[in-house]
Amino acid sequence: MSNPFKITEPTCISFSGGRTSAFMLYKVLEAHHMSLPPEAIVCFANTGKEDAATLKFVHDCETHWGVPITWIEYDGVDEVKDRWKIVNYQTASREGEPFEAMVERKKYLPNTFARFCTQELKILPIDKYMKSLGHEDYVTFVGIRADEQRRVAKMKNNKDIKETPLATAGIGVNDVLDFWSKQPFDLDTVTVNGNSLLSNCDLCFLKKADHLMGLIIDKPERAIWWANMEKKVGARFNQAHPSYVDMMHFNAKQQGLFDPDEESIACFCGD
């Protein structure tokens, strides 16, 4: 079988900022003698609501591995035609500015029925950036593992996502965790069953309610931005969950209000 991490055509390596997609990036580097092939471009789309540890982790990958990573953000300024801009670790938004700008333009919140945030804040800005480089057609590498078969199946019908090399190589969560256990740096976030609870946006409305509650109890100020957005628009991100204001008011003894067996809703952000 050919090496699924070998790149021979214009390819966007979509780096979500999590351990799995970072491992995918490492495997690409490994397949090319620890360098990035000229056909490959690594993109990290920052929504402004990633945890600070995620941003540091992306920067650590840049510096430890000597790999260029293009940091992209949605730009809500009217004069910006394609609504994207290039930032870096130092200038990246950290207070939800890109996400809020998108909400202000849309005049409504992304929700479980209209999950347009990934499309607007990640997929489209990266696609427009790639096309600005002259790549009308290109392959996208996404960090989805072999033990995430439901997500792999969904990828097949998603025109924006074309390759899942980790799944093709049969790599699972234990392989990823074993790799990071031997590295000089790691993603410093809360992890359950090998997955970071702070992956993607810190209090993403698609996360399980009890996970959201735990993250709010751990750091109540995480909920302020989300509560402000719900108040500003006069709507909720997830009708099946309490509002973010209500979750801020619950105490640790009331975690039993949430179903621990609830399943998070998968999006295409990666991990």
Per-residue three-class SS string for 163-218: ECHHHHCCCCHHHHHHHHHCCCCCCCCCEECCEECCCCECCCCCCCHHHHHHHHHH
pLDDT at position 251, please? Answer: 47
Whether residue 235 has pLDDT greater than 90: yes
Over range 214-220, report the average pLDDT: 88
E strands present in the chain: 11-14, 40-45, 69-74, 84-87, 139-142, 191-192, 195-196
pLDDT on residue 257: 47
User: Sorting pLDDT into bands at 50, 70 and 90, what band is 149?
Assistant: confident
Residue-wise pLDDT tens digits, 72-102: 999 988 777 789 999 999 999 999 999 999 9
Q: Name the residue ranges covered by the structural domains of the chain.
A: 11-188, 203-254
Measured CA to CA in angstroms, residue 246 lies from 179, 201, 229, 251 at distances of: 39, 19, 14, 10
pTM: 0.89
User: Mean per-residue pLDDT for 118-144?
Assistant: 95
Bridge partners (DSSP) listed for residue 182: none
Q: What is the mean pLDDT of residues 177-200?
A: 82
**50 has a pLDDT exceeding 50:** yes
Domain 11-188 -> CATH class: alpha beta
- pLDDT single digits (tens) 99-111: 999 999 999 999 9
pLDDT recorded at residue 266: 47
What's the burial of 259, exposed, middle or buried (CB within 10 Å: 0-12/13-18/19+)?
A: exposed
- Res 189: pLDDT: 82
pLDDT at 193 over 90: no
pLDDT band (50, 70, 90) for residue 269: low
